[in-house]
Amino acid sequence: MLRYANPKKFLDLSGALLPWLWIAAIGLMGWGLYQALFTVPPDYQQGDSVRIMYVHVPSAWMASFIYGFMFIASVVGLVWKHPLADTAAKEAAPIGAAFTAVCLITGALWGKPTWGTYWIWDARLTSVLVLFFLYLGYMGVWAAIEERAKAAKAAAILCVVGVINIPIIRFSVEWWDTLHQGPSVVRFEDGKFAPSIDGSMLWPLLIVAVGCTLLFFALLFVRMRTDIAQRRIRTLMAQKAAS
Amino acid sequence: MTGGVQVTGEGLSCRRGDRLLFAGLSFSAPAGSLTAVTGPNGSGKTSLIRMIAGLLKPEAGTLRVSGAGAGDEAAADLLHYLGHHDALKSQMTARENLTFAARWFGVSGDPGMALERLGLKRQADLPVGYFSAGQRKRTALARCWMLGRPLWLLDEPTAALDADGRALVLDLIAAHAAAGGTVIAATHDPLGKDAAEIAVA
Amino acid sequence: MSAFLALIGRDLRLSFRIGGGPFLGLGFFLTVAGLLPLGIGAKLDLLGEVAAGFLWVAAALAALLSLDRLFQADAEDGTLDQLALGPLPLEAAVLAKSIAHWLTTGLPLTLAAPVLALMLNMPEQGYGALALSLLIGSPVFSLTGAIGAALTAGLRRGGLLLSLLVLPLFVPAVVFGAGAVSAAIGGFDTSAAFLFLGAFSMFALVLGPVAGAAALRIHLS
């Protein structure tokens, strides 16, 4: 009994969209990064090191965006039990974790020339670190539970609990930050180290961000298609073993 | 015991993981009846029992326990589920295990009398960890008997028991049915000549 | 109510018979408190500065020690089915087990904390805040820890994953709790910290049983 539903519509749609997604993603990111590296003037305070911002900030946005995406997918999976929703959440997680890691690493690389230290326990970076652990925990739950339906539900619950908890964590760490403000700590607004963002600096940022979003969807579709194919293979093998 | 309990199922299907275990299963177990659920290992006997208990949702079909849906609170109050694992704590004595069950389910039962009924009078105050598999089974059945629910859902009630133990259990089950209770048991052993059968596979 | 108390009592009894009850957590607490001075050198000033935060972290770790067993045994021996089928909702069962867990980890630690603070040379102004913050905040570890324990119940080596899962949930408690003590030592107003800590505890009181029961139901089917 090959009950396994073939999500044909998704496969057709994603297959048609993928080439365009790749082209647009790579094109936009390339253009944005080219501007970031060559066209944008160096910052009057930080010099050329501000260029890391064009990788750091979009990856920070993606880290949050993807978690929000996973949250919606988890809720859809829990409430409406759409099988693709669970797959979408599952396959989005490693991409989100990767963007978060990029954010942390570029943040550290940016920190060294700016504050003189690779890491600083401020509200923003600490929250991103906790978000990274959330991603890892989520992926861990999927990996640890063998039965797919159970893993999907457990991971979905974890994702929902995490989303409720993220603003609390942000708030608590910001509060802690203000408690421990010493005169030597550099203050910066909302994670962007430039005191104000000029238009010429903003556009490349947005271009890279949109490019990253398209890249996410491209990667997501590839991962989901791979997952669907893997499950089909497993079903076929199980059938073969039973016959 | 309050009025008898009837269990009816229609068009039930069960899926575990990717496998469809059974489909289109229908049955009726009226009050005072004994029903054996039979089938090879892995065919879904345990799953069906768990469905009636409300622990597992059927993929399709309806299941009713005396008018209430299986899984509702009203249904849960009418049944006792004795699963494959006996839900006994090895570090607690048989008596302590039963006392906890009485308090948890809000029933005023006498653990001592129940254990005696199942032939465990001398072992009542020993930790269950020292019991043999058969003794553990009988302790679990003593608990079931003590709680006095009308519907008994049993998974392999005679497994690990010797001939005497089996006779004791079959006797217990028959008495319960004769008094108006309903018994549905997944089993490889015949339950008695009056037992109806649900063949899962 | 009797059923609720019966479950707490049963878990307490089992905790004594299996895991040494509150003494395991206490022993852990003592061990780490004894190791800290050896680890960082017995500089009294430094010890005093880190004592509050360190004791809070130690409380979190002590809770973690026994969290992975919270639902493990019940999932393995079929008790979970019986808990789900009882007249109390599963959320109440999770709450009862969390309370029992706190009684054997958080509460003994709260009582022992002033003594350990003395060993670690914490300034006197912080003692009251330490005891109060642990009293209000340590239940968070048992309540939110139950969510992680429920998600990983029945898994081999679930303990590793459990620590990762509960870390984000522990953060606000540790931040506000240690922050309260820090403020008290510095002579600042502690009311904000205690209010936030209390609010988060209330939040955990609801989230823990609800999410924990939802996670347990996954393992039932």
At C11-44, the pLDDT tens digits run 999 999 887 788 888 888 888 888 888 888 778 8
Chain B residues near residue A235 by CB distance under 8 angstroms = 18
Look at residue A181 and tell me whether its pLDDT is greater than 50. yes
Q: Using CA atoms, how far apart are residues C99 and C104, in angstroms rounded to an integer?
A: 9
Closest-CA distance, B162 to chain A, in angstroms, reads: 35
As a whole number, mean pLDDT of residues B127-144 equals 92
Q: Cβ(B103)–Cβ(B76) under 8 Å?
A: no
Q: Which has the minimum average pLDDT: A73-87, B65-79, B173-187?
A: B65-79
Q: Which residues of A touch C (CB under 8 A)?
A: 130, 133-134, 136-137, 140-141, 144-145, 150, 153-154, 157-158, 160-162, 164-166, 168-169, 171-173, 175-176, 179
Look at residue A192 and tell me whether its pLDDT is greater than 60. no
pLDDT score of C147? 95
- CA A58 vs. chain centroid, Å, equals 10
From residue C30, give the alpha-carbon distance in Å to each of B155, C45, C57: 47, 20, 13
> Which chains reach chain B with 3 or more Cβ–Cβ distances below 8 angstroms?
A, C
Domain layout of chain A by residue ranges:
54-180
DSSP structure string for B53-75: HTSS--SEEEEEETTEETTSHHH
In DSSP terms, B15 is beta-bridged to: B20
Look at residue B92 and tell me whether its pLDDT is greater than 90. yes
Identify the DSSP state of A41.
Answer: P
Q: By three-state DSSP, how is residue B34 classified?
A: strand
Chain C residues near residue A133 by CB distance under 8 angstroms = 164, 167-168
Identify the DSSP state of B64.
Answer: E
Stretch 58-77 of chain A: residues touching chain B, C-beta under 8 Å: none
Option in C168, C200, C211 nearest A134 (CB): C168
pLDDT score of A6? 60
Chain B residues near residue A3 by CB distance under 8 angstroms = 15, 18, 20
Mutate to test the interface with C, among A132, A172, A177 (most CBs of C within 10 A): A172
Q: Cβ(B190)–Cβ(B30) under 8 Å?
A: no
Stretch 138-157 of chain B: residues touching chain C, C-beta under 8 Å: none
In DSSP terms, A43 is beta-bridged to: A47
Q: Using CA atoms, how far apart are residues B49 and A163, in angstroms rounded to an integer?
A: 37
pLDDT score of A183? 34
Look at residue A193 and tell me whether its pLDDT is greater than 60. no
Q: Using CA atoms, how far apart are residues A39 and A160, in angstroms rounded to an integer?
A: 42
At A65-109, the pLDDT tens digits run 999 999 999 999 999 888 899 999 999 999 999 999 999 998 888
Look at residue B94 and tell me whether its pLDDT is greater than 90. yes
From residue C67, give the alpha-carbon distance in Å to each of A203, C103, C204: 49, 13, 16
Confidence tier at B116 by pLDDT (50, 70, 90): very high
Q: Which has the minimum average pLDDT: A107-111, A177-181, A199-203, C172-176?
A: A177-181
At A19-52, the pLDDT tens digits run 999 999 999 988 888 888 887 777 766 677 777 8
Q: Is C140 on the interface with A (CB under 8 A)?
A: no
Q: Using CA atoms, how far apart are residues C119 and B87, in angstroms rounded to an integer?
A: 45
Residue in B closest to A242 by C-alpha: B19
Q: Using CA atoms, how far apart are residues C94 and C71, in angstroms rounded to an integer?
A: 9
Option in C158, C164, C207 nearest A133 (CB): C164
pLDDT score of B49? 92
How many contacts (CB atoms, under 8 Å) link B and C? 69
Q: Is C183 on the interface with A (CB under 8 A)?
A: yes
The pTM of the full predicted model, rounded to 2 decimals, is: 0.87
The bridge status of strand B19-29 relative to strand B7-16 is antiparallel
Q: Using CA atoms, how far apart are residues C131 and C126, in angstroms rounded to an integer?
A: 9
As a whole number, mean pLDDT of residues B42-68 equals 87
Q: Using CA atoms, how far apart are residues C208 and C218, in angstroms rounded to an integer?
A: 16
Look at residue A1 and tell me whether its pLDDT is greater than 50. no
Look at residue A182 and tell me whether its pLDDT is greater than 70. no
Confidence tier at B80 by pLDDT (50, 70, 90): very high
Give me chain A's average pLDDT, please: 83
Residue in B closest to C15 by C-alpha: B91
Domain layout of chain B by residue ranges:
1-78+149-201, 94-148
Contact B17 A3 (CB under 8 A): no
Contact A137 C211 (CB under 8 A): no
Length of chain B: 201
ipTM given for this complex: 0.89
Chain A residues near residue B17 by CB distance under 8 angstroms = 147-149
As a whole number, mean pLDDT of residues B51-68 equals 86
At A123-172, the pLDDT tens digits run 778 888 989 999 999 999 999 988 888 999 999 999 999 998 888 888 88
Contact A140 C219 (CB under 8 A): no
Give me chain B's average pLDDT, please: 87
Q: Cβ(A189)–Cβ(A195) under 8 Å?
A: yes
Chain A residues near residue C168 by CB distance under 8 angstroms = 130, 133-134, 137, 162, 165-166, 169
User: What own/partner pairs with CB < 8 Å and gap ≥ 24 does C181-186 have?
Assistant: C181/C52, C181/C53, C181/C56, C181/C122, C181/C126, C181/C129, C181/C130, C181/C133, C182/A179, C182/C52, C182/C53, C182/C126, C183/A179, C183/C129, C184/C125, C184/C126, C184/C128, C184/C129, C185/C52, C185/C122, C185/C123, C185/C125, C185/C126, C185/C129
Stretch 45-64 of chain B: residues touching chain C, C-beta under 8 Å: 50, 53-57
Let me know if A175 is exposed, middle or buried by CB neighbors in 10 A (0-12, 13-18, 19+).
Answer: middle
Q: At what angle do helices A53-79 and A83-115 cross, to 10 degrees?
A: 160
Which residue numbers in chain C have pLDDT < 50?
none
> Which chains reach chain C with 3 or more Cβ–Cβ distances below 8 angstroms?
A, B
Option in C18, C78, C86 nearest B105 (CB): C86
Residue in B closest to A3 by C-alpha: B18
Look at residue B38 and tell me whether its pLDDT is greater than 70. yes
Q: By three-state DSSP, how is residue B152 classified?
A: strand
E strands, B99-181, where? 151-155
How many contacts (CB atoms, under 8 Å) link A and B? 11
Closest-CA distance, B17 to chain A, in angstroms, reads: 6
pLDDT score of A156? 96
Token pair, residue C100, equals 């029992």
The bridge status of strand B19-29 relative to strand B34-38 is unpaired
Closest-CA distance, A157 to chain C, in angstroms, reads: 7
Q: Which CATH number fits domain B1-78+149-201: 3.40.50.2300, 3.40.640.10, 2.40.50.660, 3.40.50.300?
A: 3.40.50.300
Look at residue A3 and tell me whether its pLDDT is greater than 60. no
Question: B79 — phi, psi (to 5°)?
Answer: -125, 160
